[in-house]
């Protein structure tokens, strides 16, 4: 148990089992090419070796050490739903020669496939993308064994124009446009008392 961390194994219609695992092995799996989607043999004392996958893990917030792992038993003949990272390869023509910028909008996609068909990542070549070019989920390279879940028209990446910053507002000019209104209001207020003597003279004439 020394140096190991607690973990729980569940799934495949069997009871959950508490185990202890080597954090170094788990770290190597998480940093491998297929990452947490890696499927490996798990040997639990007192039971047969099973295929398993890391589905959740907790780190110590300050030092970053692994604290706890959730492992799931995998049935190799049953479809699974997993999220796979998307990697963009190359530099678009729209960036090289047309002054655009490449925006990576969707960084992972959810797929359904058999465990043995889970890719570590999906690479998409963006070198031929021109200005305003788009790549959708449906454009991602994949075999017939993989089914995309969600909207296949969702944008993965596009080449767009760099937006110009809005011109700063001239506060002096704004203040200048307000001044005539202030002056006009002052004239109206000043003219009001002048009407009073005229009314008094009219009353005097009647008398």
Distance CA 76, CA 53 (A): 11
Give the per-residue pLDDT at 157: 97
- 89 or 186: whose pLDDT is higher? 89
Please tell me which residue, 205 or 142, carries the higher pLDDT value: 142
On the question of pLDDT at 89 being above 60, the answer is yes
* pLDDT score recorded for residue 87: 95
At residue 125, the 3 state secondary structure works out as strand
pLDDT tens profile 71-83: 999 999 999 999 9
Beta-strand ranges (E) seen in the chain are: 5-11, 14-21, 39-42, 50-59, 66-73, 80-89, 100-104, 108-113, 122-125, 134-136, 147-148, 155-161
Q: Regarding predicted confidence, which is higher, 6 or 183?
A: 6
Please report which confidence band the pLDDT of residue 172 belongs to, taking 50, 70 and 90 as the band edges.
low
Q: How far is CA 114 from the centre of its chain?
A: 26
Which of the four pLDDT bands, split at 50, 70 and 90, describes residue 95?
A: very high
* Mean pLDDT over the full length of the chain: 83
For residues 128-140, average pLDDT: 95
User: Are residues 87 and 141 in contact, defined by beta-carbon separation less than 8 angstroms?
Assistant: no
What is the structure's pLDDT at 183?
44
Report the DSSP pairing between strands 66-73 and 50-59: antiparallel
Are the CB atoms for 82 and 54 separated by under 8 Å? no
**Where is average pLDDT lowest: 68-72, 136-140, 182-186?**
182-186
Instruction: Name residue 161's beta-bridge partners.
Output: 100
> Which neighbouring-strand residues pair with 187?
none
State residue 159's pLDDT score.
Answer: 96
> Which helix (H) or strand (E) segment is 81 a member of?
strand 80-89
Q: Dump pLDDT digits (tens) for 26-83.
A: 999 999 988 989 999 999 887 789 999 999 999 988 888 999 999 999 999 999 999 9
Q: Position of tokens 């200048």? A: 176
CA-angle at 36, arms to 82 and 62, nearest 5°: 125
pLDDT greater than 50 at residue 148: yes
What pLDDT does residue 182 have?
A: 46
Which residues make beta-bridge pairs with 132?
none
- Contacts for 124 with CB less than 8 Å, ≥ 6 apart: 86, 87, 88, 89, 135, 139, 140, 141, 156, 157
Among candidate residues 64, 66, 60, 49, the one with its CA nearest the CA of residue 7: 66
Q: What domains are defined for the chain? A: 5-73 (2.40.240.10), 80-161 (2.170.120.20)
């Amino acid at each position: 148990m020394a140096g190991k961390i607690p973990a729980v194994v569940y799934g495949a219609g069997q009871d959950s089992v508490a185990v202890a695992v080597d954090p170094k092995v788990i770290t190597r799996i998480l940093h491998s090419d297929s990452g947490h989607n890696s499927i490996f043999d798990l040997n639990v004392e007192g039971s047969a070796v099973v295929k398993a996958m890391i589905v959740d893990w907790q780190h110590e917030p300050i030092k970053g050490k692994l604290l706890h792992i959730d492992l799931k038993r995998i049935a190799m003949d049953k479809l699974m739903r997993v999220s796979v990272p998307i990697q963009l390869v190359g530099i678009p023509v729209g960036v090289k020669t047309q002054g655009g910028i490449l925006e990576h909008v969707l960084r992972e996609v959810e797929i359904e496939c058999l465990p043995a068909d889970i890719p570590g990542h999906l690479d998409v070549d963006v070198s031929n993308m021109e200005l305003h070019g788009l790549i959708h989920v449906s454009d991602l390279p994949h075999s017939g064994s993989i089914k995309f879940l969600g909207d296949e028209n969702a944008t993965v990446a596009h080449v767009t124009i760099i937006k110009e910053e809005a011109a700063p507002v001239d506060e002096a000019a704004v203040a200048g446009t307000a001044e005539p209104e202030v002056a006009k209001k002052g004239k109206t207020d000043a003219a009001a008392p002048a009407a009073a003597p005229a009314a008094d003279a009219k009353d005097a004439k009647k008398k």
